[in-house]
Amino acid sequence: MASPRDVVGRRSALSRKVCPMNDMFPVHDEGRIIPPIAAETQQDLEAVKADILGSIERNAPRIGSRNPMIGAGADDHRWLYPEIGYFWTDSFWIGELWLAHMLTGDQRYKNMARMRNLHLERILNTPLWLSHDLGFLFSLSAVADYKLTGNQQARTLALRAADALKGRFNWAGDYLVAWTASRENMEHAAKVQGKVIIDSIQNLSLLLWAYQETCIISYRDAALRHAETLKKHIVRSDYSTFHTFDFDTSTAMPIGGNTAQGFADASCWSRGQAWGIHGFAQLAETTGNLEFLELSAKLADYALEKMGDDYVPDWDYLLPAGEERIKDSSAGAVTSSGLFILADVLCRIGDQKRGQHYRTAALRMLFALRERHDLTGDPDAEGLLSAGASHVHGAKAQGRPNLANAMLPYGDYYYFEAVLRGLGYRQFFW
């Protein structure tokens, strides 16, 4: 049962006049439906949804007020948590709680999600914790809260986060600086002050939401100019992607692309490709810019061509012959969710054939994860998916095998999101 405050807040949020991003995809357009879902597919997706909700209910008391960072190992399905009190992954479990609340109306999930608000404020008040990941952190928490309940405190918190993210924008170079430099590590500082990262395409939704809430144009301009920079420099001519790209901090001129997460600078890290597919499709839906849609499609075509018949990506799409083919279920979850967005937008502009093509691929990837890596049937598993590859190089260099094979909170969140997109849900927190 919603409290009177939540009801009033929800009405306020829904009636608020926003600055529209486009005329093609209005905020409320549920009348434009995707093609009917086959009855068997619907039944299978509903079964996955129910199992996910069961897992969340079972594990919420185990997790408590903590924020999962990574699983303990390939066969040890317990969560490990940040030792310093913060990590960029802190809001993915919160996002799952808000999705569960959205589906069930269960006030426990709302309360559990809001327990993290003081932690989120602490992040904003700690300069060295600020990065491009503010979009992940606050879209899945404060923005989610505001969109679902109309909570004005959540709106204020989300706008503070958007201000902090916009403050990272280099107006001479047209990019958001990925990480914050610290004098405690001058070698790191020298590397990061002109660096952008493919993951950041996902974080632009926070800025576009802030623009729609306030009509302050600089939020929109920072987001779209950064997107154009990623389009120009992170995406290669064959539609593979770099993990990161460096600019000269004095002249803002491009230097070149490289990787920390992928196999090599010239390879294609599969989760980075997934961020691009999902992020540019999301931008197309939000802005109506079909150039972003076509870019997402080309990134998707590259991934699907390289993926193989099992529909679960290797951690890198360009591994040399003889290299161990470690799977990354998180790349599969993000890609599947992005393909559903891509398919939906294509169908809504009348391109049913291409839309159905990408929807079929999204379902194949989703059901491959269900068949091979779903943990919801294990009563002792604290997450949803096994076989997430967080940082394969780190696993080898640091002697930490769970970095190459474990549960990942972002894999779990996007798995949940992909299931709901497959069922036709459109209103999320991006």
Cβ–Cβ under 8 Å, residues 49 and 423: yes
Nearest CA among 79, 51, 50, 49 for reference residue 65: 79
Catalytic residue among 199, 314, 316, 328: 199
Mode of pairing for the β-strands spanning 254-258 and 244-247: antiparallel
Q: Which long-range contacts (CB under 8 A, 24 or more apart) does 347-355 make?
A: 347/34, 347/35, 348/24, 348/25, 348/29, 348/32, 348/34, 349/24, 349/290, 352/35, 354/297, 355/34, 355/35
Q: Which amino acid is at 309?
A: D
Residue 410 tokens read as 């972002």
133 classed as catalytic: yes
Cβ–Cβ under 8 Å, residues 92 and 137: no
Round to whole Å and give the CA distance between 212 and 422. 27
Catalytic residue among 90, 133, 174, 374: 133
Residues in the chain: 430
Cβ–Cβ under 8 Å, residues 332 and 368: yes
- Tokens 């509903």 belong to 46
Contacts of 18 (CB under 8 A, 6+ apart): 27, 212, 213, 215
Nearest CA among 392, 377, 381, 388 for reference residue 319: 392
Specify the 3-state DSSP secondary structure of 337: helix
Cβ–Cβ under 8 Å, residues 116 and 85: no
163 classed as catalytic: no
- Tell me phi and psi for residue 227, to 5 degrees: -60, -40
CB atoms within 10 A of CB 377: 9
- Residue 197: strand pairing partners: 244
Q: Which amino acid is at 7?
A: V
Contacts of 74 (CB under 8 A, 6+ apart): 386, 387, 401, 402, 405, 406
Instruction: Report the Cα 264 to chain-centroid distance in Å.
Output: 23
Question: ∠ CA 359-295-245 to the nearest 5 degrees?
Answer: 125
Active site residues: 133, 199
